[in-house]
Amino acid sequence: MLTVFDQFTRCITDVTTQLTALGIPLTAPAAPPADPDPTDPWASSYDVPVDRSTLAWSTAVTMLADHHHTSVDRQVPAADALLRELGVRGLAQLHSDLHHGAPVDYRFTRCPYCSGIGEDPTRSTCEDIGCPPEYQFAGHDHICPVCRGDDYQPQWFAEEHMQKLEDLLAGAIQKSEEHASLRYRIWTRLHRRAPRS
């Protein structure tokens, strides 16, 4: 039986197999050093290494390839740049950008990183993430850094939204009827025929 966590492993395996077959290394080369900025002498020139065998990178390159209808190898530099600049949280920005800048409601759209489970799919520990000591106890969940733990249940949230829309529509109809009645009374007063003498 295939579990959700098996999907993550399969995604990584598929992408790394394609990269290996194309001769693309699984670690991104370091970016060229930036020219020193004379206005900011404390600027860091530290380059964040990008591991192409992680779930985040595999998700980013797959999202880009699917969106642009290209092969994975064409999107390698873009995925490198995204994770180097924004890290895992950059996947949420990428997802929004691919939807033409519209915010993504993860209650209706399955999160591309955690596949809708709402937790960090890498199963990292508090020590790995650096949680404060007071949070390092049983039951402390690590929510997904992309969807921030939104509960993917479109069938439940759709009913709730339909009920809200029905309430709004009923209120609008009632207001419209009230306004129509008021408009009629004003019209009749303005258009009363004055008696002719």
What is the pLDDT tens value at each position of the chain, 197 positions in all? 667 778 888 889 999 999 999 898 888 877 766 666 677 766 555 566 789 999 999 999 999 999 999 999 999 999 999 998 888 889 999 999 998 888 898 988 899 999 888 888 887 777 777 777 777 666 678 889 899 988 888 888 878 878 888 888 888 888 877 777 777 777 777 777 555 55
The token duo for 61 is 């390159």
Is the distance from CB of 3 to CB of 30 less than 8 angstroms? Answer: no
pTM: 0.68
Report if residue 124 sits inside a domain.
Answer: yes
For CA atoms 118, 135, 54, 71, the dihedral sign is positive
- Which residue range is the domain that position 91 belongs to? 4-29+48-152
Q: Looking at the structure, tell me whether residues 147 and 166 fall in a common domain.
A: no
| CA–CA separation, 113 and 119 (whole Å) | 10
92 plus 169 within the same structural domain = no
Query: Does 141 lie in the same domain as 68?
Result: yes
| 73 close to 24: Cβ distance less than 8 angstroms | yes
Helices of type H across the chain: 4-22, 55-68, 76-86, 90-98, 126-129, 154-190
Has residue 43 been placed in a domain? no
- Nearest 5°: the CA angle 3, 9, 15 is 140
Same domain as 106, residue 172: no
What is the number of domains present in the chain?
2
User: How far does CA 175 lie from the centroid of its chain?
Assistant: 37
Considering the domain architecture, whether residues 134 and 160 belong to the same structural domain is answered as: no
Query: Is there a single domain that holds both residue 117 and residue 188?
Result: no
